[in-house]
Structure 1
Amino acid sequence: MSTASDARYWDRSSKSYAKSQISDQAGYERTLERTSALLKPDSSVLELGCGTGTTALRLAGGVRSYLAADLSAGMIAIAQEKFATSPVAGLVFRAATAEALAAEAARFDAVLGFSYLHLVRDLSGTLRSIHALLAPGGLFISKTPCLGDMNPLIRLALPLMQMIGRAPYAGVFNAQELDGLIAAAGFEILGSERHASKGKDSRPFIVARKA
């Protein structure tokens, strides 16, 4: 399996993903509220793993510019359809990875990654790319499932689901390990919160600053 196969998986899944419901709407709204409070009206923002654009369309109106990227062209096509009916000034959707964008000249005041880090194959490398994408002192804001903190049955079932094409690649790490990887990539972690409104929350909302 490779990044190309990941893109094909999400292309195939894009229409069903677009129809899925947010499992914890209150927790999601809390994440949007906290993220908005950290962004400034003159900020340039990059969102990685934007999916079908739901979060980008909610946040982009509060900043100067917002690039929403995903490795899946199928996801981006749906996001652009949403954008066509509800345009937001300064918002651009693009099929791209963190690594590809890091090779370009643009730098951002904030990089966002929601339900994203566990889906990348080279987490340390991706975090280094995110560090490179940020302007000095820029913020990396993420909220990612830590499968290492979840029910072990999920980790046991995951390889079987992947074998039959019913689950994407997913990295297994716990919150402490994720903190260590973020710090090792050159970030200072400013805070970690839990936003779930029900059940055990294994998705820490982490705010880190480029050191």
Structure 2
Amino acid sequence: MEPDAKFWDGIAEKYAKSPIRDMEGYQASLDRTRGYLKPTDHVLELGCGTGSTALLLAQNVQQITATDFSTAMIGIANRKAAEEGIENVSFLGIDPFDPQLTTETYDVVMGLNFYHLLDDMGAGFRRSHDLLKPGGLLIAKTPSLGSTAFFKRVALRAAVRVMQAFKKAPFVDFVRIEEVEKAVVDAGFEILETDNVGGTVPRSYLVARKI
């Protein structure tokens, strides 16, 4: 179920220093996400990496619990939070199924560039549903490698397999945008907004309410 924590631990420092490739798209996603957040919200972010998104959104909510499989990533996130003096974000090196995360606790669950890294994406959405309060929101941005053009998709699959063979890439699910949306609905959500935000790889940005 869980992504390769050892892989992410190994690249944590390099990842933290790497610039965001599509800064315009990242900022647009942040702005859209802020539009759904309230000052009283307790937000859970799954797959927070080195914490950049959680720290940028901290001022918009009451509290953020941010988790990642990689304890090295979480170490960097805690360091950044201390340097920036941000106290309403808690970083945990756990997976989404850890009992420390209790059901019907969170107003919003975010998974930005996360669910395609699970070998059972549907289980990830179902767990997110369980963690949300009634009527809570899921905000997900999911690279949809399965929605790329045929020849590009074949080339990407081949490249990823070679990199995985040399431990240079983690598990990646080649999901299509429509598969992401179906998995969200099947998990018990009503989709409020969905959009292909494009870029080098199609990305499904969606917001859904727990029903």
Q: Which TM-score applies when normalising by structure 2? A: 0.93
Q: Distance in 2 between matches of 1:27 and 1:60?
A: 20
Partner residue of 1:30?
28
Q: Which segments of 5 or more consecutive residues in structure 2 lack a partner in the other structure?
A: none
Question: Aligned AA for 2:130?
Answer: A
Does residue 133 of structure 1 match 2:154? Answer: no
Does the Cα contact within 8 Å between 1:71 and 1:95 map onto a contact in 2? yes
Using a 3 Å threshold, how does the CA distance of structure 1 residues 58 and 8 change in structure 2: closer, same or farther?
Answer: same
What is residue 72 of structure 1 aligned with on the other side? 70
Identity of aligned residues (%): 40
CA distance in 2, matches of 1:55, 1:85: 15
Give the structure-1-normalised TM-score: 0.93
Gaps of 5+ in 1: none
Find the aligned partners of 1:64 and 1:106 in 2 and give their Cα distance: 17
Indicate whether 1:117 and 2:119 are aligned: no
1:210 is aligned to 210
CA contact (8 A) 2:104 2:134 kept: no
1:46-98 residue CA offsets vs partner (Å, 9 max, x unmatched): 00000000101100111011001101100000001111100223111111111
Moved over 4 A (4+): none
Q: 1:170 to 1:27 in 2, by over 3 A?
A: same
Rate the CA distance shift 1:50–1:103 in 2: closer, same or farther, 3 A.
closer
Match of 1:183 among 182, 185, 189: 185
Matched AA of 1:140: L
Aligned partners of 1:34 and 1:147: how far apart in 2?
22
CA distance in 1, matches of 2:75, 2:101: 24
CA-based RMSD: 1.6
The match for 2:80 is: 82
* Aligned counterparts of 1:201 and 1:121: Cα–Cα separation in 2: 19
